[in-house]
């Protein structure tokens, strides 16, 4: 069984500031981990994924995430927030690449001037 | 990139009626499609997996007779909520996967918001 916890349903940052969205997972087998972004009225879009290769994963739009097994974490970061980053972000886990994705409850990112 | 559409984007219906939601892969063929449900402030929950030309596989706790899934072609899957009740009000999201793609690769539709009065 697997689960995902996203700490903070709402995160607000200033434009240009560091973005940090937290995700902790639980999995009985080596996990694959994902971050998705959802803009209003659009489908979830894959930002990046960890599939047991490099622990630091770079994604689109300047985002990256680091898999830390000891902390069971997969936090999403971006050095400098842009207004266009405002969206909802979902962390997800699947059991070693199996079909089933288990999602967190999402974090709404707000970027302020 | 691969695009998945859903229709309608939102629907309001009376209790007891049935509602059909369509999920289409616009520029690729999808051998596998997934249906999720998301209640307010909760995560997306997988309801069922459908493979083209075969019966859907439902997750535990999902009533297959209430949520009818048809995946009759490589570009279309439908979810019919039969005899809808207010507790079925939710955000329904589909995703699709191309043949040959790794298992975790799914392209998501924008979702359908259902409100049952």
Three-state SS letters, B46-112 = EEEEEECCCCCEECCCCCCCCEEEEEEECCEEEEEECCCCHHHCEEEEEEEECCCCCCCCCEECCCE
Helix (H, G, I), strand (E, B) or coil at A85: helix
Supply the pLDDT for residue A14. 97
Residue B47 CB-density burial (10 A; 0-12 exposed, 13-18 middle, 19+ buried): buried
| pLDDT classification of B18: cutoffs 50, 70, 90 | very high
- Kindly tell me if the per-residue pLDDT of A65 is higher than 80: yes
In this prediction, residues A71-84 reach a mean pLDDT of 97
State the nearest Cα–Cα gap between B35 and chain A, in angstroms: 11
Going by the DSSP 8-state scheme, the letter that residue A39 receives in this structure is: -
| pLDDT classification of B51: cutoffs 50, 70, 90 | confident
Confirm if A21 and A104 have CB atoms less than 8 A apart: no
Supply the pLDDT for residue A95. 83
Supply the pLDDT for residue A98. 66
- Kindly tell me if the per-residue pLDDT of B101 is higher than 80: no
pLDDT, tens digit (0-9, with 9 covering 90-100), for B20-48? 999 999 988 988 999 999 888 788 899 99
Residues of A in contact with B28 (CB under 8 A): none
A102 vs B72, residue with greater confidence = A102
Residues of A in contact with B45 (CB under 8 A): 103
Residue B43 has its nearest CB partner, among A32, A46, A105, at A105
- Kindly tell me if the per-residue pLDDT of B74 is higher than 70: yes
Residues of B in contact with A4 (CB under 8 A): 43
Provide, rounded to the nearest whole percent, the portion of chain B with pLDDT above 70: 97
State the nearest Cα–Cα gap between B97 and chain A, in angstroms: 10
């Amino acid at each position: 069984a697997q689960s995902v916890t996203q700490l903070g349903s709402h995160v607000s940052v200033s434009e240009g500031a560091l973005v940090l969205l937290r995700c902790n997972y639980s999995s009985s087998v080596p996990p694959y981990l994902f971050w998705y972004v959802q803009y209003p009225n659009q489908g979830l879009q894959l930002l990046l994924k960890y599939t047991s290769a490099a622990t630091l994963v770079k994604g689109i739009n300047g985002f990256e995430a680091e898999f830390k097994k000891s902390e069971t974490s997969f936090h999403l970061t971006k050095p400098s927030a842009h207004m266009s980053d405002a969206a909802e972000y979902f962390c997800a886990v699947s059991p070693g690449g199996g079909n089933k994705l288990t999602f967190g409850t999402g974090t709404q990112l707000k970027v302020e001037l | 990139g691969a695009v998945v559409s859903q229709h309608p984007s939102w629907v309001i219906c009376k209790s007891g009626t049935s509602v059909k939601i369509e999920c289409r892969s616009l520029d690729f063929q999808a051998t596998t499609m997934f249906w999720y449900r998301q209640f307010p402030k909760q995560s997306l929950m997988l309801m069922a997996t459908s493979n083209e030309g075969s019966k859907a596989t439902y997750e535990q706790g999902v009533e297959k007779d209430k949520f009818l899934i048809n995946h009759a072609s490589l570009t279309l899957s439908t979810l019919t909520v039969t005899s809808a009740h207010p507790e079925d009000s939710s955000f329904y999201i589909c995703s699709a996967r191309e043949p040959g793609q790794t298992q975790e690769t799914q392209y998501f539709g924008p979702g359908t918001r259902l409100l049952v009065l």
